[in-house]
Amino acid sequence: LKKILIFLQVASTVVVGKMLMVLFPEAMKRYILKQGEKSRMNQNPKFSYENWGPTFFSFQYLLFVLKVKWKRLEDEAQEGCPAPNTTVVATSGEVCHLLDFMRDNRPLILNFGSCT
């Protein structure tokens, strides 16, 4: 049910965004560039709007956003429910899942810290 609701939300956003890009291309370009400032995409001179702007609200955009949002559903921890088996990267660079570190019936302890 959650996946269906996410699909409807993302699909409606893509449809409305695509319509606005067709009807008001300059206004949408300004809006997308403003969003790019938040992520600093605009600061790379080799990465111009023409390279990435038109991909907003495309079918590939829809699929990517759905994939990310659906994956995040699996990452939500709920009290009384099993722990999420999120993807992690080991210090060796190997990509694995959190529960891969479980051993027998011993509890898994996560320790978060900073190296800086």
pLDDT category of residue 115 using cuts at 50, 70 and 90: low
Domain range for 45 is 1-75
- Whether residue 110 lies inside any domain: the answer is no
When divided into structural domains, the chain yields a total of: 1
Tens of pLDDT, residues 66-109: 988 888 876 677 788 877 788 888 788 888 888 888 888 888 88
**What is the reported pTM?**
0.56
Tens of pLDDT, residues 4-50: 999 999 999 999 999 999 999 999 888 888 877 777 766 777 777 78
- Whether residue 93 lies inside any domain: the answer is no
DSSP 3-state of 96? strand
Q: Which 8-state DSSP code applies to residue 14? A: H
- Whether residue 34 lies inside any domain: the answer is yes
**Rounded distance, CA 88 to CA 78, Å?**
19
**Rounded distance, CA 20 to CA 15, Å?**
9
pLDDT of residue 5: 92
- Whether residue 103 lies inside any domain: the answer is no
- Whether residue 116 lies inside any domain: the answer is no
